[in-house]
Amino acid sequence: MVHFADSLTFSGRKVVAAWASLPFPAFPGSSLPDALSAHQQDVPWELLSSWREQKVSCCFAQSVVLRGVCRERPSSSPGQQQPWAPLHCETPEQLLLHYLHTHFPGAFSTAHVLQQPCHTQPPFPQFFSPLLTTQGFLQDKALGLPSAGPNKAVQSIPVLAALQAWPGLCQLLSGLCQDLRARNVRRCGSFFAAGVEQDDFQEALEELRTLSQCYKTGSGVGESEDEADSD
| pLDDT tens column, 46-63 | 998 777 666 677 899 999
Establish if 82 belongs to a structural domain. Answer: no
**E strand intervals along the chain:** 17-21, 46-47, 61-67, 108-114, 118-119, 156-157, 159-165
| pLDDT > 70 fraction of the chain, expressed in percent and rounded | 77
The b/e string for 204-217 (b: 16+ C-beta within 10 A; e otherwise) is ebeebbebbebbbe
Q: What pLDDT score was predicted for residue 53?
A: 60
- Whether residue 186 is found in the same domain as residue 207: yes
- Whether residue 101 is found in the same domain as residue 206: no
Handedness of CA 183, 185, 190, 195 (dihedral sign): positive
Please tell me the distance from the alpha carbon of residue 164 to that of residue 228, in angstroms, as a whole number: 26
Q: Is 173 helix (H, G, I), strand (E, B) or coil?
A: helix
- Whether residue 54 is found in the same domain as residue 122: yes
Domain that holds residue 197: 170-214
Q: Is 119 helix (H, G, I), strand (E, B) or coil?
A: strand
Q: What pLDDT score was predicted for residue 224?
A: 45
pLDDT of 77 > 50? The answer is: no
- Whether residue 197 is found in the same domain as residue 158: no
What is the mean pLDDT of the segment spanning 149-167?
Answer: 87
Q: 62 has which bridge partners? A: 109, 164
Question: Across all residues in the chain, what is the average pLDDT?
Answer: 81
Could you give the number of structural domains in the chain? 2
Q: What pLDDT score was predicted for residue 79?
A: 45
- Whether residue 54 is found in the same domain as residue 134: yes
Note the residue count of the chain: 231
Q: What pLDDT score was predicted for residue 109?
A: 94
Q: What pLDDT score was predicted for residue 152?
A: 78
- Whether residue 134 is found in the same domain as residue 192: no
- Whether residue 130 is found in the same domain as residue 177: no
pLDDT of 150 > 70? The answer is: no
| pLDDT > 90 fraction of the chain, expressed in percent and rounded | 39
Please tell me the distance from the alpha carbon of residue 93 to that of residue 109, in angstroms, as a whole number: 11
- Whether residue 19 is found in the same domain as residue 62: yes
What is the mean pLDDT of the segment spanning 52-79?
Answer: 74
- Whether residue 114 is found in the same domain as residue 196: no
What strands lie across the sheet with 108-114, from one edge to the other? 46-47, 17-21, 159-165, 61-67, 108-114
Question: Which of 76-80, 96-100, 104-108, 180-184 is predicted least confidently?
Answer: 76-80
- Whether residue 112 is found in the same domain as residue 197: no
- Whether residue 33 is found in the same domain as residue 96: yes
Establish if 84 belongs to a structural domain. Answer: no
Residue pair 70/30 in contact by the 8 Å Cβ criterion: yes
Instruction: Write the CATH number for 30.
Output: 3.30.1330
- Whether residue 158 is found in the same domain as residue 181: no
Establish if 174 belongs to a structural domain. Answer: yes
